[in-house]
Amino acid sequence: MEYLLDVKNLTFGYTKDKLLLNNFSLTLQKGELKAIVGESGAGKSTLFELILKNLRPIEGSIKVALCSQVFQDPYSSFHPSYTLINQISDVAPLKELEKYLKLINLEYDLLLKLPHELSGGQLQRASILRAILMKPDILLLDEPTSALDNVIQLEVMEMLIRHLDSMAMLLITHDIELANWCADEVITL
């Protein structure tokens, strides 16, 4: 079986006497959605940094296919002085833009604005839009719906789940009910 993500015996800590991850393993294949839950500071976001190779493990290995990420804070994931459409088109083809705008309940005119001109929920949906248009093998989702109201949160998660036939997803969340509802497996750090 070929995995899109294969983390084996991963050990990492910012100091050697305090490990965040110790002999941690995880696999992810196309069609799977796994959720990572845990207290603040448990290593959830650090795991994403390791998967993206922004950090190096002390021990273990990570084999990963093409990823895109939705960050928890949408304001930090867009450059403040460029329009959203420019930032999206820099990294992703726009041929399916109209389709996804409807699915995530976002108006095209909002993409012509600067990030600070949108609400947190609108900007987070634009971040999700950009990540999906990149056509990744794996979508890394760090609290992707925390800035959205409950109705939009459900709509966005249902839309994401419908894309599992073309990718895998790894979700960080503090919302255990959301994790239990949508994930094939819930992993506690």
Alpha carbon distance 171, 156 (integer Å): 13
What percent of the chain lies above the pLDDT cut of 90?
63
pLDDT of 30 > 90? The answer is yes
The yes-or-no verdict on residue 121 having pLDDT over 90 is no
Is pLDDT at 142 greater than 80 in this prediction? yes
Q: What is the mean pLDDT of residues 25-33?
A: 95
Residues sharing a CB contact under 8 Å with residue 145, sequence separation 6 or more, in sequence order: 124, 152, 153, 156, 157, 178
Percent of the chain with pLDDT over 70: 99
Where residue 39 falls among pLDDT bands split at 50, 70, 90? Answer: confident
pLDDT in tens, 87-118: 999 999 999 999 889 888 889 999 999 999 99
Among 42, 32, 28, 21, smallest CA distance to 173 is for: 42
The DSSP call for residue 1 is: -
d(CA 128, CA 104): 9
Given pLDDT bands bounded at 50, 70 and 90, which one contains residue 36? Answer: very high
The band of 16, judged by pLDDT with boundaries at 50, 70 and 90, is: confident
pLDDT higher than threshold 80 for residue 185: yes
Output the pLDDT for position 34.
Answer: 97
* Domains within the chain, CATH numbers bracketed: 5-188 (3.40.50.300)
Task: Locate the DSSP E strands across 42-147.
Answer: 59-64, 67-70, 138-142
Record the pTM: 0.88
Asked whether the predicted pLDDT for residue 83 surpasses 80, the reply is yes
User: Average model confidence (pLDDT) for the chain?
Assistant: 90
Residues in the chain, how many? Answer: 189
